[in-house]
Amino acid sequence: MKPNDLPQFDTAALRAKDAAHHLHPFTDTKSLNAAGSRVIVRGEGVRIWDSEGNEIIDGMSGLWCVNLGYGRQDLVDAATHQMQTLPFYNAFFKTTTAPATELAALLPQVAPPGFNHVFFTNSGSEGNDTIIRLVRRYWDLMGQPQRKTIISRHNAYHGSTLGGASLGGMSGMHEQGDLPLPGITHIDQPYQLQHGKPGESAHDFGLRAASWLEAKILEVGADKVAAFIGEPVQGAGGVIIPPASYWPEIQRICDKYGLLLISDEVICGFGRLGHWFGCQHPHINSKPDLITFAKGVTSGYLPLGGVLVGDRVAKVLIEQGGDFNHGFTYSGHPTCCAVAIANVSALRNEGVVERVATDTAPYLKAQFATLADHPLVGDVDSLGMVAGLVLYKDNASRTLFDADLGVGYLCRDHCFKNGVVMRAVEERMIIAPPLVMTHAEIDEMIRRIRRSLDDTLAGLR
Ligand code: PLP
């Protein structure tokens, strides 16, 4: 697309209004206002354009969500049709809408076996808040009300509501607002760079990292622990891919103590890892009782999230539970559900998830791995359509840059300048591109990333 085909915006005026009025999420407003926001005005396929006409490959799928890419007319049509027919009605008080019911029936067709019920929310954060309510309700109904503690991991991300931020293990979030809430506790993440021992194999590290769950269960008291929650691959924490030995051992420990296992699939769901849900990837291979989803369910075109409730919990909740006193005005919003149906149908009918597993993700892995020869780069890794690398000051001795330098943010800015969105998480640079990326687009993205690494290195000299 040529810049003059773009919608025209007055960038300076928008920046001024933004600085005057807009409090951005996870942003230092004062420093943002000094620089001015980048205004994104259009998207098509795997590319976005800013208001100054710059074309950028979106290596982060918006915010891990635009799985089908931008500009899908089928999703637009689904929303338009539903808005013209019935833009909104609720699912409280014994009513439903066709899209909410059809989506509730469609999701079990793509979910792992044993998931036949869904509770809709607007977001992943609300999904995880719903999980806390469901877990507590389940154990109350099971006659074990003392089972209230949920164990999560440091540096996990489970959302921004009080519950989501408490389940998450982000210290920067816990410091603001006296979190976590009582009844939520954390173990270390399976990140070998941070917690590995010299000479330890990835396999042994994975088993040792999982053993921290058992130690925590025994510390809290096995009869008091309700559940363990984890992302199959930690996304916002920096694409932390655990060793293959980790999740099976977590599963064994959950089974041994009867814990509910919760897979937060807000990022990993809907094909991101080349399977409908991340827990189905052979590298993960867990059997959760509850699954949180959001983002990729609509490819981000409209907000929708929810919880897939496995039979173990659903049976108790439905047969013994009576009213579940929980819900949002927009639980099962028909327009969002209509878009989700179109999105899931497209992922299915176009074979996107299978293509990720057999073609796109292996190609991304191979091309991303070529960055390993760059002097700044180490620990290149990917699983499905998420990938990450570490920026090292000295690769041979695995010496990291001084954190105050913010080398990741320098690199991220070079990426933007060179036309690719990459995210920085401390020493890690990560991507999660749209699932529909072609080989040629992957090649172009990798070239732009390499150029940005070169520019970062040149700037450090
Ligand atoms: N869980 C995970 C794993 C996430 O990555 C996110 C968001 O990035 C959330 C939950 C929260 O989702 P939302 O931002 O839709 O509330």
pLDDT number for residue 418? 98
Output the CA torsion sign for 238, 242, 248, 249: negative
Ligand 1 contacts CB of residue 123 (under 6 A): yes
Integer Cα distance of 125 and 82 in angstroms: 25
What distances in angstroms separate CA 88 from CA 82, 100, 211, 216, 294, one per listed residue? 9, 11, 47, 45, 19
| Cα 305 to averaged position of ligand 1 atoms, centre (Å) | 9
Tell me how crowded residue 314 is: count the other CB atoms within 10 A of its CB: 22
| Cα 157 to averaged position of ligand 1 atoms, centre (Å) | 7
Tell me how crowded residue 252 is: count the other CB atoms within 10 A of its CB: 12
| Single-letter residue type at 142 | M
Ligand 1 contacts CB of residue 235 (under 6 A): yes
Atom of ligand 1 nearest to the CA of 124: 12
| Cα 295 to averaged position of ligand 1 atoms, centre (Å) | 8
**What angle is formed at CA 449 by the lines to CA 446 and CA 455, rounded to 5 degrees?**
145
Longest dimension (CA), the chain: 67
Ligand 1 contacts CB of residue 97 (under 6 A): no
| Cα 77 to averaged position of ligand 1 atoms, centre (Å) | 26
Ligand 1 contacts CB of residue 163 (under 6 A): no
> Which residue's structure tokens are 């694409």?
239
Ligand 1 contacts CB of residue 62 (under 6 A): no
| Cα 398 to averaged position of ligand 1 atoms, centre (Å) | 31
Ligand 1 contacts CB of residue 376 (under 6 A): no
> Which residue's structure tokens are 């979106």?
58
Model ipTM over 0.90 = yes
Backbone φ and ψ of 357, nearest 5°: -65, -40
| Cα 159 to averaged position of ligand 1 atoms, centre (Å) | 5
Ligand 1 contacts CB of residue 305 (under 6 A): yes
- Residue 176's contacts (CB-CB under 8 Å, 6 or more residues apart) are none
Q: Tokens representing 332?
A: 């099962």
Which of 61, 67, 122, 125 has most ligand 1 atoms within 8 Å of its beta carbon, as the pocket-test mutant? 125
> Which residue's structure tokens are 């909104």?
88
Atom of ligand 1 nearest to the CA of 294: 15
Integer Cα distance of 266 and 360 in angstroms: 21
pLDDT number for residue 5? 67
Residues of the chain under the 70 pLDDT cut: 1-5
Ligand 1 contacts CB of residue 168 (under 6 A): no
Contact indicator for 255, 365 with CB cutoff of 8 Å? no
Contact indicator for 56, 49 with CB cutoff of 8 Å? yes
Q: Provide the 3-class DSSP secondary structure of residue 121.
A: strand
| Cα 130 to averaged position of ligand 1 atoms, centre (Å) | 13
